[in-house]
Amino acid sequence: MPANSWTPDQPIVAIHDLHKSFGALEVLKGVSLEVMKGEVICIIGPSGSGKSTLIRCINALNPVDSGSILVEGQEVNDPAVDKLALRKKVGMVFQQYNLFPHKTALQNVMMAPLKVLKQPRGEVEKRARALLTRVNLEGKEDSYPGELSGGQQQRVAIARSLAMNPDVMLFDEVTAALDPETVKEVLVAIKDLAQSGMTCILVTHEMGFAREVADHIYFTDRGVIVEHGPPATFFTESSDPRTREFLSQIL
Amino acid sequence: MNAFQQFFFDLSEEHPRWNFIFFYDPVQTERVLSGLWMTIQLSVVCVILSVLIGLVGAWLQGAHSRLVRAVVQGYIQFFRNTPPLIQLLFFYFALGQFTPTYSPDGWLEVPIISNVGWAIISLSFFAGAFNVEIFRAGIEAVPESTREAAESLGMNRLQAFIYVVFPLAFRVSLPALNNNLVNLVKTTTQALAIAVPELLYQMVSIYNDYSTAQNACMVVLFVVYIGLVGILVTGMNAWERAARVPGYGQ
Ligand SMILES: Nc1ncnc2c1ncn2[C@@H]1O[C@H](COP(=O)(O)OP(=O)(O)O)[C@@H](O)[C@H]1O
Ligand SMILES: [Mg+2]
Asked whether residue B234 carries a pLDDT value surpassing 60, the answer given is yes
Nearest to B207 by CA among B2, B92, B86, B35: B35
The confidence score (pLDDT) of residue B22 equals 94
Query: Which residue has better confidence, B167 or B63?
Result: B167
Instruction: Provide the domain count of chain B.
Output: 1
ipTM: 0.91
Task: Give B141's DSSP letter.
Answer: T
Give the range of the structural domain holding residue A186, as residue numbers without chain letter: 13-250
SS3 A225: strand
Going by CA atoms, what residue is nearest to atom 10 of ligand 1? A22
CATH code of the domain covering residue A226: 3.40.50.300
Measured CA to CA, the distance from residue A139 to residue A116 in angstroms comes to 26
Residue A75 phi/psi, 5-degree rounding, is -75, 120
CATH code of the domain covering residue B101: 1.10.3720.10
Region B53-70: what's the mean pLDDT?
A: 92
Task: Give B82's DSSP letter.
Answer: S
In-domain check, residue A7: no
Asked if A61 lies within 8 A of B155 by C-beta distance, the reply is: no
In-domain check, residue A5: no
User: For residue range B95-146, what is the model confidence (pLDDT) as tens digits?
Assistant: 888 888 888 877 887 888 889 999 999 999 999 999 999 999 999 999 999 9
Asked if A112 lies within 8 A of B245 by C-beta distance, the reply is: no
Nearest to A144 by CA among B143, B148, B150, B249: B249
In-domain check, residue B61: yes
The confidence score (pLDDT) of residue A238 equals 83
| Cα-to-centroid distance, A225 and ligand 1 (Å) | 16
Give the range of the structural domain holding residue B107, as residue numbers without chain letter: 33-242
A92 to chain B, any CB pair closer than 8 A? The answer is yes
A249 lines ligand 1 (CB under 6 A): no
In-domain check, residue B227: yes
The confidence score (pLDDT) of residue B41 equals 96
Task: Give B212's DSSP letter.
Answer: G
CA distance to A53, B2, B9, B79, B214, per residue, from B14 (Å): 84, 18, 9, 49, 16
Three-state secondary structure of A72-127: CCEECCCCCCCHHHHHHHEEEECCCCCCCCCCCHHHHHHHHHHHCCCCCHHHHHHH
Phi-psi region of A80 (alpha: psi -120 to 50; beta: other; left: phi over 0): alpha
In-domain check, residue B182: yes
Region A98-102: what's the mean pLDDT?
A: 96
In-domain check, residue B28: no
Asked if B149 lies within 8 A of A59 by C-beta distance, the reply is: no
User: For residue range B193-230, what is the model confidence (pLDDT) as tens digits?
Assistant: 999 999 999 999 999 999 999 999 999 999 999 999 99
Region A96-114: what's the mean pLDDT?
A: 97
Which of B142, B145, B153 should be substituted to probe chain A, the one whose Cβ sees the most A Cβ atoms within 10 Å? Answer: B153
User: For residue range A188-216, what is the model confidence (pLDDT) as tens digits?
Assistant: 999 999 999 999 999 999 999 999 999 99
**CA of A53, closest atom in ligand 1:** 17
- Enumerate the residues of chain A whose CB falls inside 8 A of the CB of residue B148: 61, 94, 98
Residue B22: CA count within 13 A, CB half-sphere: 27
Asked if B150 lies within 8 A of A100 by C-beta distance, the reply is: yes
The confidence score (pLDDT) of residue A235 equals 87
A24 lines ligand 1 (CB under 6 A): no
B168 to chain A, any CB pair closer than 8 A? The answer is yes
Distance from CA of B158 to the nearest CA of A (A): 11
Instruction: Provide the domain count of chain A.
Output: 1
Residue A14 pLDDT grade (very low, low, confident, very high; cuts 50, 70, 90): very high
Q: Give me the residues paired with residue A221 across strands.
A: A224
User: For residue range A59-77, what is the model confidence (pLDDT) as tens digits?
Assistant: 999 999 999 999 999 999 9
The confidence score (pLDDT) of residue B102 equals 83
The confidence score (pLDDT) of residue A2 equals 54
pTM for the model stands at 0.85
A52 lines ligand 1 (CB under 6 A): yes
- Tell how far CA B83 is from the center of its chain: 15
Output the CA angle A216-A218-A219, nearest 5 degrees. Answer: 145
Q: Measured on CA atoms in the order A6, A12, A16, A18, is the torsion positive or negative? A: positive
In-domain check, residue B203: yes
Asked whether residue A1 carries a pLDDT value surpassing 80, the answer given is no
Region B57-77: what's the mean pLDDT?
A: 93
Measured CA to CA, the distance from residue B91 to residue B103 in angstroms comes to 21
Residue A32 pLDDT grade (very low, low, confident, very high; cuts 50, 70, 90): very high
Residues 13-42 of A with CB under 8 A from B: none
In-domain check, residue A69: yes
Asked whether residue A3 carries a pLDDT value surpassing 60, the answer given is no
Query: Which residue has better confidence, B110 or A137?
Result: A137
User: For residue range A214-240, what is the model confidence (pLDDT) as tens digits?
Assistant: 999 999 999 999 999 999 899 888 888
A22 lines ligand 1 (CB under 6 A): yes
A84 to chain B, any CB pair closer than 8 A? The answer is yes
In-domain check, residue B11: no
In-domain check, residue A4: no
